A = this chain, B = another copy of it.
Amino acid sequence: MHLPAVPVSQSPEDKFREYLASRSRPQRYTEQQRDMVRYIFSQHNHFDADQLTEDMRRAGFRVSRATVYRTLTKLVDAGLLRCLETGPRKYYEHDYGYPQHEHMQCQVCGKMIEFQNTSIEAILREVCRTHQFQATSHTFIIQGTCAECNQARVPKRRLDLI
């Protein structure tokens, strides 16, 4: 479920190093951070901190929960990841090199479906103008049932009717 990528000049890794170096107090680029950046950008998932920890461990990396949490915060701050706060936990997705989009979330299988809609930006501008509101971000998530989960249900209902 990809949208077309946005061309960028730097690799995510280089962009992160640049971010770390440009701090008023320069931060360090460690092995675990490097592993995380590479792992995250080798996939295209929506994930939370614990999923990432487990997945990376299964893939043979040595990562600690605390460092995953700390590094995810930095990656958001660096503009590499975007954080979706919908419900009790935080989900992350690519931001660097990836276009603006919205989400549909299937409440059966949990899948996140991305979509783009050109009218939304106009709505944002208009609403903010009329309310003199200075927007910094927005969250648009449609909850429901995805096509596959919907199909999987219909046969079940039919059987129930017999």
Chain A residues with CB under 8 Å of chain B are: 85-88, 104, 106-107, 113, 115, 117, 119-120, 123-124, 126-128, 130-147, 150
Contact between B139 and A143, CB atoms less than 8 A apart: yes
Contact between A107 and B123, CB atoms less than 8 A apart: no
Contact between B107 and A136, CB atoms less than 8 A apart: yes
Which residue in B132, B135, B147 is a CB contact (below 8 Å) of A133?
A: B147
Contact between A134 and B120, CB atoms less than 8 A apart: no
What number of copies of this chain does the assembly contain? 2
11 contacts between A and B (CB under 8 A): A88-B88, A104-B133, A106-B133, A115-B130, A117-B126, A135-B142, A136-B145, A138-B140, A138-B141, A138-B143, A139-B140
Contact between B139 and A144, CB atoms less than 8 A apart: no
Query: In whole Å, how far is A130's beta carbon from the nearest beta carbon of chain B?
Result: 8
Please name 6 further chain A to chain B contacts, defined as beta carbons within 8 Å, in addition to the given A85-B87, A117-B126, A117-B127, sorted by A numbering: A88-B88, A113-B133, A115-B130, A134-B145, A137-B144, A139-B140
Q: With a CB–CB cut-off of 8 A, which chain B residues contact A128?
A: 104, 142, 144
Which residue in B134, B145, B146 is a CB contact (below 8 Å) of A144?
A: B134
